[in-house]
């Protein structure tokens, strides 16, 4: 337990003040995102005919609000218990956000053109498309140049934050407690420096940043297909004082690591962007590179099976954003896939719009 979490336990007034500041920050991000989406949506409607969408039951909004409350409660409890430092809850790169925000608006007309022209494989001529699996060459979310440009890497996290009302990081943090617990139980004799953790599909490094805060001395690695996103991750992680995680450009279906290299693996928001066979191949690779006893933690979109009331929202997401494998994903049996890859599923849970699966390689 850290000094700060100790102080929070002992001084209830301090705890109440920090907790309220955290909630204020989270709700302000939520309102800003709502305002952004409303204004952007209105402008889009003026320019293009609206998309046919599934009607949402009014009760869904109440359920969503409850899920946000539960997510914030859990996030606060984990920080207070010292699973990760309380300052992680307040780490916001506002300067970066406000610098990028006008560029995000400048890019929106191109995304709308793509969305309304149904062009989901639209890359500028200078983008090198060789050596990627065909399923990857998509403008996910109708992003300009998909995952293959520095500009896309610069805007990605802000787009995700606006989409999730500023709750993306709080959802990602839900992997930290089960991972910490799994490692402590399975490898009690390993020193913190001997622990090796890999983040698969690490993108711009948000999860690695959280992993570093939670495991300050561990050997961290990240793998991703996008050099541009890895460059952004490198830039972000260089600001942390601890050892820089090792970032490697590779396909997660064939990772350049020896068998049983890692004790912990995380895969965050990746599986919904893979077709079924690639999902299975990545899980098989995860099994190969994880030590027996090691823990795999997955965070991804909710699915029909765990959140049937939210199905209309999921279908709207698939229609509105370019997510070619998402409809298949929402009905896929991830537990069966994980078991088929050789893992034992320990626990599944849902937090806001994400589901979490904790599995162990026995």
Ligand X SMILES: C[S@@+](CC[C@H](N)C(=O)[O-])C[C@H]1O[C@@H](n2cnc3c(N)ncnc32)[C@H](O)[C@@H]1O
Kindly state whether residue 304 participates in binding ligand X, applying the rule CB under 6 A.
no
Tell me how far, at minimum, the Cβ of 274 lies from ligand X, in Å: 6
Q: How far apart are CA 198 and CA 264, in angstroms?
A: 6
Interacting span for ligand X (CB under 6 A) from 35-43, 53-61, 76-84, 223-231: 223-231
Rounded to a whole number of angstroms, the distance between the first and last alpha carbons of the chain is 29
Kindly state whether residue 356 participates in binding ligand X, applying the rule CB under 6 A.
no
C-alpha Rg value of the chain to the nearest Å = 20
Q: How far apart are CA 263 and CA 171, in angstroms?
A: 22
Residues in binding contact with ligand X, number by CB under 6 A? 20
* Nearest of 79, 249, 100, 222 to residue 160 by alpha carbon: 100
Kindly state whether residue 270 participates in binding ligand X, applying the rule CB under 6 A.
yes
Kindly state whether residue 271 participates in binding ligand X, applying the rule CB under 6 A.
no
Interacting span for ligand X (CB under 6 A) from 15-23, 36-44, 264-272, 284-292: 264-272
Tell me how far, at minimum, the Cβ of 45 lies from ligand X, in Å: 26
Kindly state whether residue 229 participates in binding ligand X, applying the rule CB under 6 A.
yes
Choose between 184 and 254: whose C-beta lies nearer to ligand X. Answer: 254
Helix %, strand %, coil % of the chain (to 5):
55, 15, 30
Task: Show contacts with ligand X in window 104-163 (CB under 6 A).
Answer: 136, 147
Kindly state whether residue 264 participates in binding ligand X, applying the rule CB under 6 A.
no
Query: Do the Cβ atoms of 6 and 13 come closer than 8 Å?
Result: no
Q: How far apart are CA 64 and CA 313, in angstroms?
A: 11
Contacts of 125 (CB under 8 A, 6+ apart): none
Among 202, 211, 237, 302, indicate the residue that binds ligand X (CB under 6 A): 202
Tell me how far, at minimum, the Cβ of 254 lies from ligand X, in Å: 9
């Amino acid at each position: 337990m850290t000094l700060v979490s100790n102080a929070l336990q002992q001084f209830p007034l301090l705890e109440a003040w920090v907790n309220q500041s955290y909630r204020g920050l989270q709700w302000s991000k939520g309102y800003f995102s709502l305002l952004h989406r409303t204004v952007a949506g209105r402008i889009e409607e003026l320019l293009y005919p609206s998309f046919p969408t599934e009607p949402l039951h009014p009760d869904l909004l109440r359920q969503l609000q409850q899920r946000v409350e539960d997510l914030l409660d859990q996030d606060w409890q984990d920080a207070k218990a010292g699973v990760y430092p309380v300052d992680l809850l307040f780490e916001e790169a506002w300067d970066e956000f406000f610098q990028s925000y006008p560029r995000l608006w400048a890019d929106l007309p191109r995304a709308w053109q793509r969305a309304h022209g149904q062009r989901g494989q639209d890359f500028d001529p200078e983008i090198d498309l060789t050596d990627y699996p065909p399923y990857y060459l998509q403008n996910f979310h109708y992003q300009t140049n998909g995952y293959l440009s520095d500009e896309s890497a610069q805007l990605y996290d802000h787009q995700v934050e606006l989409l999730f009302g500023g709750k993306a990081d709080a959802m990602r943090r839900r992997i930290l407690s089960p991972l910490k617990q799994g490692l402590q139980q399975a490898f009690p004799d390993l020193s913190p420096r001997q622990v090796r953790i890999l983040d698969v599909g690490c993108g711009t490094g948000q999860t690695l940043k959280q992993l570093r805060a939670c495991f300050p001395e561990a050997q961290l690695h990240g793998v991703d297909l996008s050099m541009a996103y890895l460059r952004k991750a490198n830039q972000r992680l260089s600001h942390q004082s601890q050892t820089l995680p090792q970032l490697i450009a590779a396909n997660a279906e064939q990772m350049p690591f020896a068998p049983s290299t890692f004790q912990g693996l995380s895969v965050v928001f990746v599986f919904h962007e893979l077709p079924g066979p690639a999902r299975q191949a990545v899980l098989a690779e995860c099994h190969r590179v994880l030590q027996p006893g090691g823990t795999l933690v997955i965070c991804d979109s909710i699915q029909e099976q765990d959140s049937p009331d939210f199905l209309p929202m999921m279908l709207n997401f698939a229609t509105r954003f370019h997510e070619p494998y998402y409809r298949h994903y929402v009905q896929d049996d991830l537990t069966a896939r994980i078991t088929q890859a050789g893992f034992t599923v320990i626990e599944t849970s849902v937090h806001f719009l994400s589901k979490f699966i904790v599995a162990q390689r026995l």
